[in-house]
Amino acid sequence: MSISFKVNNEQRTLDVDPDTPLLWVLRDDLRLTGTKFGCGIAQCGACTVHVNGQPRRACVTPVSTLDGASVTTIEGLEGPQADAVREAWAEYDTPQCGYCQSGQIMTAAALLSRNPKPSDEDIDKALAGNICKCATYVRIRKAVKSAGEKLGG
Amino acid sequence: MTVMEAPAPSRRAFLAGAGGLVIAVALPVKSRGQSGEERIFGGGDASNIKYAPNAFVRISPDNTVTILIKHIEFGQGPFTGLATLVADEMDADWSQIRAEHAPANAELYGNIMFGGMQGTGGSTAMAASFDVMRKAGAAAKAMLVAAAAESWGVPASEISVSKGVLSHSSGKSGSFGEFAEAAAAQEAPAEPTLKTPDQWIYIGKDVPKLDTGMKSTGEAQFTLDIYREGMLTVVVAHPVKFGATVASFDDKAAREVPGVVDVKKISSGVAIYAKNTFAALKARKALKVEWDESAAETRSTDEIAAERRDAVKSRGAVAGENGTVDDSAFADAANSIEAEYIFPYLVHAPMEPLDAVVERKEDGGVEVWMGSQIQTMDKATIAEACNVEPEKVTLNTVLAGGSFGRRAQSDAHFAREAAEVFMAAGGETPVKLMWTREDDIQGGYYRPLMVHRMRGAVNDAGDIAAWEHVIAGQSFVANSPFEGMLQGGVDATMVEGASETPYALPNYNTSAHIINNPVTTLWWRSVGHTHTGYAVETFIDELLEKAGKDPVEGRLALMTAPKHQRLANVLKRVNAMAGGMEAPEGRARGVAAVESFRSYVAEIAEVSMEDGLPRVHKVWCAVDCGIPVNPEIIKAQMEGGIGYGLSAILFNELTLDEGGAVTQSNFHDYRSLRISEMPDVEVEIIASNEPPTGVGEPGLPPIGPAVANAVRRLSGATPRNLPMIKSLQA
Ligand code: FES
Ligand code: FES
């Protein structure tokens, strides 16, 4: 089945099994490997991307549902929120192993887009779906707050 | 264990590296003798190790300085940490520093604390590298200076180096890159002069981590991200019972899945080869396998625990003792406590499940990419399974999404599976073997299920008159290359932290029973301390309470031996940080202090109960790990150890159902601590001039008992049947 959608602002037309989760299309077909596999069942958030600007679990999103959609991955994440998040991530040297961090950053950037001045509670709520086995949570919390402040929230 | 004989030290070596020159400095380092770590990690006779690994510094004409890191980076910070040491001695500019994994070559990169094997673990990376890496940096600098002196016709002593620039009072100056080639032709100093601590520019200060940038953009390459030309993705159907093997399988439906190329039986299960990941996963679901369970573990974890609970009723092989401890000491029930602790199997569950890429090289050898933690074992295993000479195996260590012990496989089982998968399909087509989360959760190599029984008695004077500690569980070093850790029937990794406590106990006896079964087990972040720290630190807390003593003052009064003063010191510090043990209404504080891997950590946790479960609001942590090379990395490791430990102690257990099948399968039923459950953490590092020790593990052991001691104050009982969710909500 041929499916056509935008990935990081580029139009892509692919002929794949329609049940294929977006995660594997991104990785295997488009070689956008920044989006990670952690569980495959929407439990860890390592595969978080934006679909039409909203955070989405790529591992449980069949590619067939995306016809005409616009997908953004960590590789294509840009704009003031993205810059602020990455800057804050550097400020706190947040990543350890780094494997969950694409997902954390995608979720954090989406949070800041709708709530530029999140409280600790807002941050905990928005990011509760993103597991970090290295438990970089203390720094994620500080970094998201700092990014919010820099955005003038 | 075989001790690698290091080659005679060559004072100078040139290797034409990609895009530059490699200065390879071989540095003789004295053996440390049979220190505690060597007993633990060295196995056999570590005194045979005459030379430390070479440290490589690659200076490129573009003026970048690349440090080859002999320890795998999976979050604990060796890229930045080891590079800090070299950059400091070289007086390099931090912005010119790069880090990459060193090749798998035990002769050059063996770990002096692993008996010469190349590998990472036991929080040894910094301790084993502190001198070597600084000397490599100092030697590289001396060679650069000598080259500049020659070219400028001035005495070397007149050349100064700062921020990667060599300069002379005549006005001449040049970059490292400009002198890289000429420097490589210089003689390396045998004993380069090292800086004194007051001259350090990066050690002890914070430098930006080298891997933060690439881990914030998706650029960082993990094994799963590697795609080779014509590569097939492989998943393996594994048994859900330990020790089961393939009896027969029906792959008709699996082969019909579009994209599936092949199905093969290998020793650990049935491998599916496909052109893409989704096809492989789909086909695995369609595959029908009959398992031969004749040698499998068919008991439930309750039955396994029952066997161990039975064993701890009597003493095992003695691990440590002092004075006399007999039944009469505990006869007076009013003054004694008896306690049984059950610690479940725990999964490491690193964020990136295990994976590897294997392909054939043009010279007939094989090339492998994986998050290898014990390169020497993995490489030898790949060579054997692929039937090639070890020299023909190129093993590339790749950034890995966590390990917590999971990748430090004494039996190299994953390297073996990857090699078998490659060979079973003909040994020509490149393959990527990936484990799913289900493979990871159900795949074994767990922290062993351990049972402890403790008895303690307090006399009328309020002193601890007797202490008895019996431990039973599996030994993962028995029948492994690390068998040297087994002495007199006692596995050091099972009793560390319990065979000797920091407390002056005139009468104590600690013993252990090794009871093995087919469930595979492995070291799990902080190894034996995961359970001994919990047992010892909750038990002492209860005995002190019984004696009417304060948990902090009571502990300090018992930490009398000179060797426990650093632990006493962190305990005092954490108490000062928290402002004592008093908690606001509705909350309680608990404390614990544990020495592990020669680092000293004390923590205080402030806890309340919510819906029958502890909610940890705040943790104060004081750590003494010798010279703090990278303070922020140390703090991050304490935070990480606390979060990782909290997850386990609150929620995690891996169980086997009646019949022996693993109950849990993914993060929905083997859950992880989430950000909303992560306490605020405040860390202080003790200033020290002692050699640096590890930080990857030592943050973990105190968190469980600190929380448990707070819970006891709130609910009246120490949770002893772990995880806490089980004993508190039962
Ligand atoms: S991989 Fe998608 S949520 Fe875990
Ligand atoms: S940084 Fe390792 S899992 Fe989050």
Among B79, B216, B642, B647, most A C-beta atoms within 10 A, so best to mutate, is B216
CATH number of domain containing A27 = 3.10.20.30
Chain A partners within 8 Å of B259 (Cβ): 17
Spell out which residues of chain A touch residue B77, defining contact as CB-CB under 8 Å: 96
Residue B605 lies in a domain: yes
Tell me: do B520 and B474 sit in the same domain.
Answer: yes
Nearest CA in chain A to B257: A17
Residue B474 has pLDDT above 70, yes or no: yes
pLDDT of residue A134: 98
Q: In terms of domains, do B280 and B174 share one?
A: no
Q: Could you tell me if B96 and B174 lie in one domain?
A: yes
In this prediction, residues A18-41 reach a mean pLDDT of 98
Residues A7 and A63 in one domain: yes
Give yes or no for residue B547 having a pLDDT over 70. Answer: yes
Number of Cβ pairs < 8 A linking chain A and chain B: 186
| Contact at CB, B632 and A93, closer than 8 angstroms | yes
Ligand 2 pocket, A102 CB below 6 A?
Answer: no
Q: Within this chain, do residues B198 and B250 fall inside the same structural domain, yes or no?
A: no
Q: Give dist(CA B293, CA B493) in Å, integer.
A: 30
**Ligand nearest the Cα atom of residue A22:** 1
Residue A125's contacts (CB-CB under 8 Å, 6 or more residues apart) are B676
* Residue B646 covered by a domain: yes
User: Which of the four pLDDT bands, split at 50, 70 and 90, describes residue B484?
Assistant: confident
Percent of chain A at pLDDT exceeding 90? 98
Q: Report chain B residues whose CB lies below 8 A from the CB of A101.
A: 215-216
> Residue range B131-156: average pLDDT?
93
Question: For ligand 1, what atom is nearest to the CA of residue A59?
Answer: 2
Q: Which atom of ligand 1 is nearest to the CA of A45?
A: 3
Strand partners, B274: B233, B260
Q: Chain B residues with CB inside 8 Å of A100's CB?
A: 351, 401
The answer on A105 and A71 residing in a single domain is: no
pLDDT digits (tens, 9 = 90+) for B696-723: 999 999 999 999 999 999 999 999 999 9
Task: List, as one string, the DSSP characters of chain A.
Answer: -EEEEEETTEEEEEE--TTSBHHHIIIIIT--TTSPPS-SSSSS-TTEEEETTEEEEGGG-BGGGGTT-EEE-GGG--SHHHHHHHHHHHHTT--SS-TTHHHHHHHHHHHHHH-SS--HHHHHHHHTT---TT--HHHHHHHHHHHHHHTT-
Q: Which of A25-29, B176-180, B503-507, B560-564 has the weakest average pLDDT?
A: B176-180
Indicate whether B2 belongs to any domain. Answer: no
What is the rounded average pLDDT of the residues B455-468?
96
Q: Clarify whether residues B199 and B231 are in a common domain.
A: no
Same domain, residue pair A72 and A44: yes
What is the per-residue pLDDT for B254? 98
Spatial distance between the Cα atoms of B305 and A10, rounded to a whole number of angstroms: 57
Last residue of a domain, one of B378, B404, B434: B434
Q: Are B529 and B616 contained in the same domain?
A: yes
Domain shared by A91 and A71, yes or no? no
Q: Which atom of ligand 2 lies closest to the CA of A94?
A: 1
Residue-level pLDDT at B35: 31
Q: What pLDDT band is residue B5 in, cutting at 50, 70 and 90?
A: very low
Structure tokens at A35: 């989006």
Q: Do B675 and A102 touch (CB under 8 A)?
A: no
The 10s digit of each residue's pLDDT in B358-396 is 999 999 999 999 999 999 999 999 999 999 999 999 999
Q: Is A55 in the pocket of ligand 1 (CB under 6 A)?
A: no
C-alpha distances (whole Å) from B112 to each of B51, B95, B116, B237 are 8, 30, 5, 38
On the question of pLDDT at A19 being above 60, the answer is yes
When scoring A24, A35, A39, A64 by the number of chain B Cβ atoms within 10 A, the one with the most, hence best to mutate, is: A39
Distance (Å) from the alpha carbon of B603 to chain A's nearest alpha carbon:
16
Distance CA(B526)–CA(B449), nearest Å, equals 15
Chain A interface disruption, residue of B215, B229, B646, B651, most A CBs within 10 A: B215
Out of B233-237, B332-336, B358-362, which region has the weakest mean confidence (pLDDT)? B332-336
Q: Report the alpha-carbon distance of residue B333 to residue B337 in Å, rounded.
A: 7
- Greatest pairwise CA separation for chain B in angstroms: 85
* Rounded distance from Cα B215 to ligand 2 centre (Å): 10
Q: Is residue B173 part of a domain?
A: yes
Give the Cα-Cα-Cα angle A139, A141, A146 (nearest 5 degrees): 90
B50 pLDDT band, cuts 50/70/90, is: very low
Tell me the ipTM for this assembly.
0.98
For the stretch B390-440, pLDDT in tens is 999 999 999 999 999 999 998 999 999 999 999 999 999 999 999 999 999
pLDDT, position B414: 98
DSSP B716: S
Q: Do B636 and A139 touch (CB under 8 A)?
A: yes
- Region B670-676: mean pLDDT is 97
Structural domain containing residue A53: 2-76
Residue A94 sits in the same domain as residue A146: yes
Q: What CATH code is carried by the domain that includes residue B196? A: 3.30.365.10
Strands B464-473 and B508-514: parallel
Q: Cα(B499)–Cα(B39) distance, rounded to whole angstroms?
A: 14
State how far the Cα of B570 lies from the Cα of B568, in Å rounded to an integer.
6
Does residue B440 sit within a domain? no
Is the Cβ pair A28, B436 closer than 8 Å? no
Biggest CA–CA distance in chain A, Å, is 46
Residue carrying the six token digits 């799990």: B524
In terms of domains, do B390 and B368 share one?
yes
Using CB atoms, which residue from A102, A125, A131 is nearest to B218?
A: A102
Q: Write down which residue in A76, A99, A131 finishes a domain.
A: A76
Q: What is the mean pLDDT of chain B?
A: 90
pLDDT at position B55 is 52
| CA–CA min distance B95, chain A (Å) | 14
Residue nearest to atom 3 of ligand 1 (CA): A42
Place A94 in a pLDDT band, splitting at 50, 70 and 90.
very high
Instruction: Please state the rounded mean pLDDT for residues B482-503.
Output: 92
Percentage of chain B beyond pLDDT 70 is: 92
What residue in A sits closest to B665 (Cα-Cα)?
A: A39
Do A96 and A141 belong together in one domain? yes
Instruction: Tally the domains of chain A.
Output: 2
Please state, in angstroms and as integers, the Cα–Cα distance from residue B198 to each residue in B88, B164, B410, B689, following that order: 12, 19, 41, 11
Q: What is the pLDDT of residue B112?
A: 72
**B426 and B487 within one domain:** no
Q: What is the CATH number of the domain that holds A137?
A: 1.10.150.120
Pocket test for ligand 2, best of A43, A48, A97, A140 (most atoms within 8 A of CB): A97
Mean pLDDT value across residues A103-122: 96
Among B217, B239, B270, give the residue marking a domain's end: B217
Mean pLDDT of A22-46: 98
DSSP code at position B658: T
Residue B6 lies in a domain: no
Give yes or no for residue B18 having a pLDDT over 50: no
pLDDT digit string, tens, across residues B88-127: 999 999 999 999 998 888 877 878 777 778 888 877 888 8
Indicate the number of domains in chain B.
3
**Same domain as A62, residue A91:** no
Nearest to A134 among B219, B221, B640 (CB): B640
Peptide bond into B723 cis (omega under 30): yes
B478 belongs to a structural domain: yes
Per-residue pLDDT of B615-664, as tens digits, reads 999 999 999 999 999 999 999 999 999 999 999 999 999 999 999 999 99
Instruction: Find out whether B434 and B234 touch, Cβ atoms under 8 Å.
Output: yes
In a shared domain, residues B399 and B257: yes
The answer on A71 and A8 residing in a single domain is: yes
Say whether A135 and B680 touch across the interface (CB within 8 A).
no
pTM of the model: 0.94
Distances (CA, A) of B238 to B200, B267, B438, B515: 52, 10, 10, 25
Residues spanned by the domain of B427: 223-294+354-434
Picking from A40, A90, A141, the nearest residue to B213 by CB comes out as A90
Dihedral sign (CA B35, B535, B542, B706): positive
Q: Which amino acid residue places its CA nearest to atom 4 of ligand 2?
A: A132
Single residue among B182, B199, B217 that ends a domain in this structure: B217
Task: Tell me how close the Cα of A43 comes to any Cα of chain B, in angstroms.
Answer: 6
Contacts of A24 in chain B (CB under 8 A): 276-278
Nearest ligand, CA of residue A46? 1
Same domain, A52 and A117: no
Query: pLDDT-derived band of residue B535, with 50, 70 and 90 as boundaries?
Result: very high
B34: pLDDT strictly greater than 60: no
* A48 and A113 inside one domain: no
Instruction: Of B49-53, B112-116, B127-131, give the lowest mean pLDDT range.
Output: B49-53
- Which of A76, A111, A132 lies at the terminal end of a domain, its last residue? A76
Q: Calculate how far, in angstroms, residue B456's C-alpha sits from the geometric centre of ligand 2.
A: 41
**Residue B481 and residue B423 in one domain:** no
Span B679-692, average pLDDT: 97
pLDDT for the residue numbered A153: 57
Judge if B394 and B326 occupy the same domain: no
Shortest distance, CA A112 to any CA of chain B (angstroms): 16
HEC readout, B680-695: EEEEEECCCCCCCCCC
Residue to probe by mutation, ligand 2, list A47, A89, A100, most atoms within 8 Å of CB:
A100
Q: pLDDT at residue B41 above 50?
A: no
pLDDT > 70 in chain A, percent:
99
What percent of chain B shows pLDDT beyond 90?
A: 81
Arithmetic mean of pLDDT, B285-295:
97
Domain match, B463 and B327 both: yes
Q: Do A132 and B224 touch (CB under 8 A)?
A: no
Question: Is residue B729 predicted with pLDDT exceeding 90?
Answer: no
pLDDT tier at B730, thresholds 50, 70, 90:
low
B306: helix, strand or coil? helix
Chain B CB contacts of A90 below 8 Å: 208, 212-213, 216
The pLDDT value given to residue B727: 81
CA distance B285 to chain A (A): 14
Q: Which amino acid is at B110?
A: G
The two three-digit tokens of residue B291, written as one number: 């398992």
- Other beta carbons less than 10 A from residue B557's beta carbon: 16
Asked if the structure places residue B5 within a domain, the reply is no
**pLDDT averaged over every residue in chain A:** 97
Minimal CA separation from A136 to chain B, in Å:
6
pLDDT digits (tens, 9 = 90+) for B174-190: 999 999 888 888 888 87
State which of A54, A76, A98 marks the end of a domain.
Answer: A76
Q: Is the pLDDT of residue A61 over 90?
A: yes
A49/A85 same-domain check: no
* Domain match, A87 and A66 both: no
Ligand 2 pocket, residue B402 CB under 6 Å: yes
By Cβ distance, the residue of B212, B276, B437 closest to A38 is B437
